Amino acid sequence: MSIEKHVAQVFENYQRARHQFVQTITDLSSKSYNVETLQAAGVLLHLRPLLLDTVPSIQQMSALALGKLANHSREMADAVVKSNVLPQLVYSLAHQNKYYKRSAAFVLRTVSRHSAELAKAVVEVGGLDALLLCLEEFDPQVKESAVWALANVAKHSTELAEAVVEVGAVPLLVLCLQEPEVSLKRIVATALAEIGKHTLELAQALTDTGAIPHLVNLISNPDVKLKRQVLWALSSIVKHSVELAELSVEAEAYPTVLSLLRNQDELVCKNAAIFVRETVKHSSELAFLVVNAGGLGPVVDYLNDTGGHACLPGIMLIGYIAAHSENLAMAVIKSKGVPPLSAMLHEGPEDHMKAAAAWSLGQVGCHTPVHSRAVAETNVLPKLLELFLDPDSSCDLKEKCKRSLKMILQKCTVFPALESLLHLAPPNILKYVMAQFSKVLPHDPEARRLFVTSGGLKKVQLIKAEPGSLLQEHIHAVNSCFPEEIVRYYSPGYPEELLQRVENYQPNLVTNVLEPTVNDEDGHKIR
């Protein structure tokens, strides 16, 4: 063998060994249980020089291995940052082939996903500018990897999202949204959602580039995963202001989005409900638009057909619609929206679900006695009181139940529902119950009769109210609706008082003595 061939063989063996090493490390990095062992063996020190290797495939696999290691945990991603490989990756993004760019963008994506601090490290080494160059690549997989990295940077904070906007990423993201690849559209929609969720200004930056019409056009796309992400992105934008919500309406999101409330995919239904909720909360006009478009039927069906956490947006949606006006609340009632709210209050899996149902019921029942009756007839008042008094209920649930009770009771004229609270309600709830009795009883003789025969008046006499309190004033107002002797009869201790009076009573005895009558011979009485 000549010297030249011998030397060439040595380098060939070295290249083969490097290639085999980095390929094995890449395979081992895919398994989470290998990561700690690899880190202990100093894998990062060995991979870093391979990023500068003369063989492009070795460079690419080294970057891929680093990305997989960083994806494992925040601690591992922090170790990758501290190994000082990010500057080299960012520099190489502008000069290497598309395969290397995919892997390098993958590293930036996995590092930035863990925390705001790690995402900031990516920004500080110029990662955003390098990722922007990737968005101008022809290869869709390079674009996808870069968009994913931008999404992971933007999601952590307003400051980082602003950094993404300031480098000029939004126009390029909107252009990517128009690419034919569905997988790219999905991750672009995610990135837009992560940017727009933070502030009105960031959401406005998205709408200024025409993001809303393009997103709305994708609602009808048959891809289920894309529907999820598009609806999430729209929700993140329209939640900030009525103007942004109106832009989605102008882009003809309705009534198409309402049909998605009956979609077979649970996440599509949930995200559609979130989008509609974030729209109607802004104004009564938008709420009327949704109702007039036939939105309440699908929402109620969604609540009836969906269980668990997925129905939370629908519960809130009903509450937001009802809160705007008594006409909208009546539309909720006529659409049979109250029973599923009542069912969630009774059977909800967690306190925050019950709290949402309690809040929405309060928004429906707070307008007029007719609205209050529709809510009270589903037997929710005793349940609201029970949850309010339950020591195991969360603070938020207690507060929501208290507020809803107050709002419903101030309009309630349903006597059985009111009487059901007399025994257990604390003074701060009883004052609203007694206030309603004091309003109705003076003008309704039949109600006064029922109040006595059902035992309501007797229960009122058992209430202990502080002198001078509002509760005491309402009790006096109720008692004044009845004759004094009736009130005294049902007052505590009055039966014992009557028995005592019987025992102490002294009857006035009068003795009549009848003398025998004697007649004489002529038949006259002889005394």
Which comes out higher in pLDDT, residue 296 or 509?
A: 296
What pLDDT does 76 receive? 87
What pLDDT does 80 receive? 85
What pLDDT does 429 receive? 86
Query: Nearest CA to 26 among 106, 86, 144, 92?
Result: 106
Q: How confident is the model over 77-91, as pLDDT tens digits?
A: 888 888 888 888 888
Percent of the chain with pLDDT over 90: 43
Amino acid at 141: Q
In eight-state DSSP terms, residue 221 is -
Tell me what the mean pLDDT of segment 259-267 comes to: 90
- pLDDT surpassing 80 at residue 343: yes
Mean pLDDT for all residues in the chain: 86
Tell me what the mean pLDDT of segment 4-31 comes to: 80
| Reported confidence tier of residue 453, pLDDT bands at 50, 70, 90 | confident
- pLDDT surpassing 70 at residue 508: no
Percent of the chain with pLDDT over 70: 93
| Reported confidence tier of residue 486, pLDDT bands at 50, 70, 90 | confident
Instruction: Identify the top-confidence range among 43-47, 64-68, 379-383, 420-424.
Output: 379-383
Query: Nearest CA to 400 among 436, 353, 338?
Result: 353
Q: How confident is the model over 249-260, as pLDDT tens digits?
A: 999 998 899 999
Structure tokens at 130: 């390098």
What pLDDT does 120 receive? 93
Q: How confident is the model over 99-147, as pLDDT tens digits?
A: 888 888 888 999 999 999 999 999 998 889 889 988 888 888 889 999 9
What pLDDT does 495 receive? 61
Q: How confident is the model over 273-294, as pLDDT tens digits?
A: 999 999 999 999 999 999 998 8
- pLDDT surpassing 90 at residue 316: yes
Q: What are phi and psi of 241, to 5 degrees?
A: -160, 160
In eight-state DSSP terms, residue 198 is S
Which comes out higher in pLDDT, residue 380 or 88?
A: 380
What pLDDT does 3 receive? 79
SS3 content of the chain, % helix, strand, coil (to 5): 75, 0, 25
What pLDDT does 190 receive? 95
Structure tokens at 147: 């968009």
What pLDDT does 520 receive? 55
What pLDDT does 174 receive? 94
| Reported confidence tier of residue 357, pLDDT bands at 50, 70, 90 | very high
Domain ranges of the chain: 14-147
What does the alpha-carbon distance between residue 287 and residue 256 come to, in Å, rounded to a whole number?
A: 16
Instruction: Identify the top-confidence range among 25-39, 377-391, 476-490.
Output: 377-391
Q: How confident is the model over 167-189, as pLDDT tens digits?
A: 999 999 999 999 999 999 999 99
What does the alpha-carbon distance between residue 281 and residue 11 come to, in Å, rounded to a whole number?
A: 69
CA distances to 338, 364, 411 from 367, rounded to whole Å, are: 14, 7, 7
Assign a CATH topology to domain 14-147: Leucine-rich Repeat Variant (1.25.10)
| Reported confidence tier of residue 450, pLDDT bands at 50, 70, 90 | confident
Q: How confident is the model over 203-243, as pLDDT tens digits?
A: 999 999 999 999 999 999 999 999 999 999 999 999 999 99
- pLDDT surpassing 80 at residue 307: no
- pTM, rounded to two decimals: 0.83
| Reported confidence tier of residue 151, pLDDT bands at 50, 70, 90 | very high
Query: Nearest CA to 425 among 482, 483, 383?
Result: 383
What pLDDT does 355 receive? 93
What pLDDT does 47 receive? 81
| Reported confidence tier of residue 510, pLDDT bands at 50, 70, 90 | low
Contacts with 169 (C-beta within 8 Å, 6 or more apart), sequence order: 128, 131, 132, 135, 150
What pLDDT does 238 receive? 94
